[in-house]
């Protein structure tokens, strides 16, 4: 188990206070603990370094050394800074879906939870926003994935584009757009193919689909348990396709959420939703405070 950062810092300060007044050197010792805790929570080293620097600046301005509970004071500063870095849009869950039919492009690696997340968001749009949603699977390599979306659609009462064998992803995207217009849908969601790793073929296809669909939102679905890999995936997709936000899945697992911090710091793109399980309701808007609490332990 991870040691709780708050306890760890209290430990450090307990040792220090026994030796008399706190010095800047003491604060540095505490910040080293903060850095270790961040690394243990899967935050990447450059991001952790940058973060600690920002905390140090805040801490020196806030008379931590004179505080009776310096440990608590540092924890609070760390918490506030985490929330500061993690905060993206004012309203992360508000998707841009005006000008019907609004296309939403779902991208990500295979196994990240893309199809599940597409259905979860469709259900949310239908129930919370009263939108008529059409979903289409563009995964021409994996018929099972196309069927999976159709099954989920039937389960949540959201229409899916009928499957036509032999079409390319771009053809499906065009047909989805047409169907969305003719059928009076508010939103259509394109669940693109994923591969196990990023490669040129995948990126070319996603770019081609993006160019015909001109999505209002391009949401990258990444597995929140994959740590640094998730951050690399986010940088790649953002560089090649351009994303408007991230959905972190498997946040019901025991990952510490450090990937969220790294991803936000590295790509500058907001985390919009988190996936919290396999069920269709297991998704919620991103709350920076919750992840901050999780990283702090």
Residues that bind ligand GDP (CB under 6 A): 108, 110-116, 194, 249-250, 252, 275-278, 282
183 annotated ligand binder? no
Q: Residue 196 Cβ, how far from ligand GDP at the closest point, in Å?
A: 10
Stated as kind and residue range, the H or E segment containing 24 is helix 24-40
Question: Residue 274 Cβ, how far from ligand GDP at the closest point, in Å?
Answer: 7
Instruction: Work out how close the CB of 226 gets to ligand GDP at its nearest, in angstroms, rounded to a whole number.
Output: 12
Specify the residue, 9 or 230, whose C-beta has the smaller distance to ligand GDP: 230
Give the span between the Cα atoms of 32 and 34, in whole angstroms: 5
CB 152 within 8 A of CB 280: yes
User: Considering all CA atoms of the chain, what is the largest pairwise distance in Å, rounded to the nearest integer?
Assistant: 76
Q: Is 193 flagged in the annotation as binding?
A: yes
Q: In whole angstroms, what is the distance from residue 244 CA to residue 249 CA?
A: 17
| Cβ at position 172, least distance to ligand GDP in Å | 16
Distance (Å, rounded) from C-alpha 82 to C-alpha 60? 17
Structure tokens of 212?
A: 């015909």
Minimum CB distance to ligand GDP, residue 58 (Å): 33
- 249 labeled binding residue: yes
Nearer to ligand GDP, 81 or 238 (CB): 238
Name which of 78 and 176 has its Cβ closer to ligand GDP.
176
Residue sitting closest to ligand GDP (CB): 275
- Ligand-binding site membership of 110 (annotated): yes
| Cβ neighbours, 10 Å, residue 212 | 17
The answer to whether the annotation marks 140 as part of a ligand binding site is no
Tell me: is residue 251 an annotated ligand-binding position.
yes
User: Measured between alpha carbons, how far is 119 from 85 in angstroms, rounded to an integer?
Assistant: 29
CA distance 204 to 112: 19
Rank residues 39 and 282 by Cβ distance to ligand GDP and give the closer one.
282
Helix (H) / strand (E) containing 105: strand 102-108
Task: State the binding site.
Answer: 108-115, 191-195, 249-252
Task: State the binding site for GTP.
Answer: 108-115, 191-195, 249-252
């Amino acid at each position: 188990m991870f040691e709780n950062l708050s306890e760890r810092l209290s430990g450090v300060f307990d040792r220090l206070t026994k030796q008399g007044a706190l010095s800047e050197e003491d604060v540095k010792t505490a910040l080293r603990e903060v850095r270790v805790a961040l690394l243990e929570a899967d935050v990447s080293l450059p991001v952790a370094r940058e973060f600690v620097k920002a905390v140090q600046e805040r801490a020196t301005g806030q008379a931590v050394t004179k505080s009776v509970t310096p440990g608590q004071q540092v924890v609070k500063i760390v918490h506030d800074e985490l929330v500061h870095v993690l905060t993206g849009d004012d309203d992360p869950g508000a998707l841009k879906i005006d000008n019907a039919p609004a296309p939403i492009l779902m991208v990500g690696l295979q196994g990240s939870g893309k199809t599940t997340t597409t259905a979860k968001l469709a259900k949310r749009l239908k129930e919370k926003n009263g939108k008529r949603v059409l979903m289409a699977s563009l995964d021409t390599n994996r018929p099972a994935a196309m069927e999976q979306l159709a099954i989920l659609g039937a389960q949540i009462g959201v229409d899916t584009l009928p499957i036509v064998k032999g079409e390319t992803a771009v053809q499906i995207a065009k047909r989805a757009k047409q169907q969305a217009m003719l059928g009076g849908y508010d939103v259509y969601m394109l669940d693109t193919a994923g591969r196990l790793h990023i490669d040129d073929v995948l990126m070319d296809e996603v770019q081609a689909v993006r160019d015909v669909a001109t999505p209002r939102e391009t949401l990258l679905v990444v597995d929140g348990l994959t740590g640094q890999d998730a951050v690399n995936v986010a940088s790649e997709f953002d560089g090649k396709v351009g994303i408007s936000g991230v959905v972190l899945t498997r946040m019901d697992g025991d990952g510490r959420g450090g990937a969220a911090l790294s991803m936000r710091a590295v790509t500058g793109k907001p985390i919009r939703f988190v996936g919290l399980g396999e069920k269709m309701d297991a998704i919620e808007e991103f709350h920076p405070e919750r992840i901050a609490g999780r990283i702090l332990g």
